[in-house]
Chains A and B, each alone.
Chain A
């Protein structure tokens, strides 16, 4: 290809700029990883940047040897899987129905969903609801209340709207029921968007802590985010109370770093594999465009 000289220069500049972007985005991660392998004194002295100083893995052994950590970790996995499954079920069915242009009451159904983006009930009413449904201290308090994200719903709806309607019509003539069409025709065509939605939901549920904080009162049920949050935020809360009493929370920086690394790790491991679906998932949505 015969590019102009100016364009070749641009290519180089562009490459440098993008490398800069990569460095800037990557820096905090490398910093945390370096901290997680460093000695506490070096971190405190602010000397750890990209290379671990006072290299050691004792903190990893310490955190990984803590059964509380692993139990929380297991809970997180469980909650994420169940919550994502429920979310997918509800989102997919609702999205499929509101993608049908001919159905009566479609506007109303969309309205019911969109309205909730802006209005909600506030802390105490939500708590009273969950509590009177008897869901506190159970997995259901975590996996049910946020089962539908309206944004995700609208995305799926758009995706379904763009599927070729001929296939569905043909299936209908073949005598397939609505359920059959959804299961055998629509879903197989929607793998990409489903994979994307699964990742979006899973990341949200993996990282969420507020639901768990509100509705769980037993340590055996806590997800790892509660553990992490207590490590990170406990210190400042305690010292702000001022009156002392010898109960300050001081957690070593490298323990924090290790916990963060271990918490983010699974997502980082999974997502490069799903990542290719991001683009193709949203892409397919527009294929018919």
Chain B
């Protein structure tokens, strides 16, 4: 048999080599002359203009389908978009659950639609070196609204973090006027009031609150947390670490920039990381955190919170309204729940500065071969970056889905519901009209962002607005060879740091072994990795001033 098998394998190999597949090679990005690619483009298009293609155009777009609002052909969004811009979008529909995989595959196979939205900054890097995606920074002159907002909102530094080795960036991020932070901790406000507790302003006070709750309700876990998939302690570790001047949870980054020395350090080995771990470990040690906080699934954590078995849980604005309140109302009628402003830490009363960039659009480099390339860039600029386009994508059509009152405040039409604005209304802004769709509506002026916020959320955001945003780390784009080496170091390092962080926090490993842990990180190549980072950062600084 084995002989036959070998023969079979041999036959297969010969066949394969003989027939082969058509390789779809794409050459690296070269300067493209786009002066002729003006089909449908407007001669003069600038801030404040409505973009309307001079002839009917259509653009293929990768579409992430949200399970809550499956795509419908008769959405007003499509009709109105075509009416206003003379453009039809041809969506390639991908279920949201596996969107990134499919995008990797399509780009990898050279078969991607031209527009690739919902690309988070950093996700574009693997595609840069092959020239599969467009260096969008070369074409910003076609995008007046984008450049205007970058300039007015002072986002140049943020954009720099996206730059690759060649100084270009390859994704058009969503832009926020101000940094903002949605995620924080939700607490039982009724218990706070009962015990006469104030919302904590820093993490020490936060610990005191938990202690007080523990003392009054010994059977309750003061904090039992969620958001552990795929990163344990995704939110909680992230927000605590951030205010300790380091990173963890879903914000974890292997390299941390040290302002004092002007160099990067390995995050897991910094003193800040140690302080942060000591703090969280003290919470676990005192029994203030449910030891399962960082591994249980969301449903379990929600169960504990909504049956009154825990006092605090991670949250964003929506989860308070959707996940906690309704169930809590049934189980513990006297319960009140609300967000606390993010506590301050040793690094100050801060939030991350990186939140001004949202997920955005990657463009396939095949786009420059399209006759309507210029019109396409203008279209993107209008829909995702102009005030009119942003409002349209979010609120829909004035007079149909919403109206404006005398102060210019937008009011949703009576028969339309959206995030509980008109509970019980027969229609839904997302499901039936296709607006406020995550693929098209994000970012923009703070006024627009907050236009759908509840009063309680507005109050929260007002407090948060006083916080300082942390400085951004300088970019360190890797060369292709460096990246290959770096990714192989990154995964094990990140895994190991995450694992040890949890062990220290949960008391499974003693903090006295910190030095041994540092040595283990060395063994996994932490310095090699950091040298790569610093080398790349220096090179970039030199090349780009």
Q: Say which residue of B6, B307, B419, B438 sits within 8 Å of A245 (CB atoms).
A: B438
B8: interface (CB < 8 Å): yes
Q: Say which residue of A68, A123, A132 sits within 8 Å of B70 (CB atoms).
A: A68
Residues of chain A lying within 8 A (CB to CB) of residue B230: 236, 240
Q: Closest CB of chain A to B90's CB: distance in Å?
A: 10
A247, B307: Cβ atoms closer than 8 Å: no
A248, B316: Cβ atoms closer than 8 Å: yes
B97, A234: Cβ atoms closer than 8 Å: yes
A128, B97: Cβ atoms closer than 8 Å: no
A107: interface (CB < 8 Å): yes
B486: interface (CB < 8 Å): no
A111, B234: Cβ atoms closer than 8 Å: no
B8, A240: Cβ atoms closer than 8 Å: no
A175: interface (CB < 8 Å): no
In order of increasing CB-CB distance, the 5 nearest A-B pairs are A111-B8, A107-B4, A247-B438, A233-B97, A111-B4
Interface flags for A194-223 (1: CB within 8 Å of B; 0: not) read 000000000000000000011001110010
Q: Say which residue of A115, A229, A248, A253 sits within 8 Å of B299 (CB atoms).
A: A253
State the CA gap A124–B111 with chains docked (Å): 10
State the CA gap A112–B452 with chains docked (Å): 61
Residues of chain A lying within 8 A (CB to CB) of residue B5: 111, 114-115
Q: Closest CB of chain B to A210's CB: distance in Å?
A: 9
B12: interface (CB < 8 Å): yes
B120: interface (CB < 8 Å): yes
A237: interface (CB < 8 Å): yes
A243, B306: Cβ atoms closer than 8 Å: no
Q: If A114-B5, A239-B227 touch, does A230 touch B97 (CB 8 Å cutoff)? A: yes
Q: Say which residue of B68, B71, B229 sits within 8 Å of A250 (CB atoms).
A: B68
A50: interface (CB < 8 Å): no
A44: interface (CB < 8 Å): yes
Chain B residue at minimal CB-CB distance from A114: B5
Q: How many residues of A contact B (CB 8 A)?
A: 53
State the CA gap A40–B327 with chains docked (Å): 8
Interface flags for B200-244 (1: CB within 8 Å of A; 0: not) read 000000000000000000000000000101110011001000000
State the CA gap A131–B113 with chains docked (Å): 13
B298, A231: Cβ atoms closer than 8 Å: no
A246: interface (CB < 8 Å): yes
B93, A219: Cβ atoms closer than 8 Å: yes
Residues of chain A lying within 8 A (CB to CB) of residue B359: 241, 243, 245
State the CA gap A187–B368 with chains docked (Å): 58
Chain A residue at minimal CB-CB distance from B249: A242
B491: interface (CB < 8 Å): no
B303, A44: Cβ atoms closer than 8 Å: yes
Residues of chain A lying within 8 A (CB to CB) of residue B22: 132
B67, A127: Cβ atoms closer than 8 Å: no
State the CA gap A181–B127 with chains docked (Å): 56
A44, B229: Cβ atoms closer than 8 Å: no
A241, B120: Cβ atoms closer than 8 Å: yes
Residues of chain B lying within 8 A (CB to CB) of residue A222: 93, 95
Q: Of residues 226 to 285 in A, which have CB atoms within 8 Å of B's CB atoms?
A: 226, 229-251, 253
Residues of chain B lying within 8 A (CB to CB) of residue A124: 105, 108-109
State the CA gap A233–B65 with chains docked (Å): 12
Q: Say which residue of A123, A237, A244 sits within 8 Å of B182 (CB atoms).
A: A244
State the CA gap A41–B333 with chains docked (Å): 13
Interface flags for A4-22 (1: CB within 8 Å of B; 0: not) read 0000000000000000000
A125: interface (CB < 8 Å): yes
19 A–B contact pairs at CB < 8 A? A45-B306, A68-B70, A110-B1, A111-B5, A111-B8, A114-B5, A127-B105, A213-B94, A213-B98, A213-B102, A230-B65, A234-B96, A236-B229, A237-B96, A240-B230, A244-B182, A244-B316, A246-B419, A246-B442
B21: interface (CB < 8 Å): yes
Q: Of residues 1 to 58 in B, which have CB atoms within 8 Å of A's CB atoms?
A: 1, 3-9, 11-12, 21-22, 24
Q: Say which residue of A40, A218, A233 sits within 8 Å of B93 (CB atoms).
A: A218
Interface flags for B86-107 (1: CB within 8 Å of A; 0: not) read 0000001111111100100110
State the CA gap A213–B96 with chains docked (Å): 11
State the CA gap A240–B250 with chains docked (Å): 7
Q: If A112-B11, A240-B231 touch, does A247 touch B93 (CB 8 Å cutoff)? A: no
Residues of chain B lying within 8 A (CB to CB) of residue A239: 227, 229, 234, 298
Q: Say which residue of B4, B306, B318 sits within 8 Å of A246 (CB atoms).
A: B318
A26: interface (CB < 8 Å): no
Q: Closest CB of chain B to A227's CB: distance in Å?
A: 8
State the CA gap A45–B438 with chains docked (Å): 29
B65, A219: Cβ atoms closer than 8 Å: yes
A129: interface (CB < 8 Å): yes
Q: Say which residue of A41, A114, A217, A245 sits within 8 Å of B331 (CB atoms).
A: A41
Residues of chain A lying within 8 A (CB to CB) of residue B419: 246
Q: If A132-B22, A251-B68 touch, does A230 touch B251 (CB 8 Å cutoff)? A: no
A44, B442: Cβ atoms closer than 8 Å: no
Q: Of residues 321 to 343 in B, which have CB atoms within 8 Å of A's CB atoms?
A: 322-323, 326-327, 330-331
Q: If A112-B8, A127-B109, A219-B70 touch, does A242 touch B250 (CB 8 Å cutoff)? A: yes
A107, B68: Cβ atoms closer than 8 Å: no
A250, B322: Cβ atoms closer than 8 Å: yes
A188: interface (CB < 8 Å): no
A44, B302: Cβ atoms closer than 8 Å: yes
Residues of chain B lying within 8 A (CB to CB) of residue A62: none
B120, A243: Cβ atoms closer than 8 Å: yes
B66: interface (CB < 8 Å): yes
B251, A250: Cβ atoms closer than 8 Å: no
A41, B21: Cβ atoms closer than 8 Å: no
Residues of chain A lying within 8 A (CB to CB) of residue B446: none
Chain B residue at minimal CB-CB distance from A239: B227
State the CA gap A127–B107 with chains docked (Å): 11
Q: Say which residue of B92, B322, B327, B355 sits within 8 Å of A45 (CB atoms).
A: B327
A243, B355: Cβ atoms closer than 8 Å: yes
Chain B residue at minimal CB-CB distance from A54: B330
A1: interface (CB < 8 Å): no
Residues of chain B lying within 8 A (CB to CB) of residue A217: 92-94
Residues of chain B lying within 8 A (CB to CB) of residue A249: 66-68, 96
Residues of chain B lying within 8 A (CB to CB) of residue A244: 182-183, 316
Residues of chain B lying within 8 A (CB to CB) of residue A213: 94-95, 98, 102
State the CA gap A112–B71 with chains docked (Å): 43
State the CA gap A110–B92 with chains docked (Å): 40
Q: A119-B9, A230-B97 are in contact. List 11 more A-B contacts (CB 8 A).
A: A44-B303, A111-B7, A128-B24, A230-B95, A234-B97, A242-B250, A242-B251, A243-B120, A244-B316, A245-B358, A247-B442
A65: interface (CB < 8 Å): no
State the CA gap A249–B430 with chains docked (Å): 12
Chain A residue at minimal CB-CB distance from B71: A219
State the CA gap A40–B319 with chains docked (Å): 15
B21, A129: Cβ atoms closer than 8 Å: yes
Q: If A45-B303, A108-B11 touch, does A248 touch B331 (CB 8 Å cutoff)? A: no
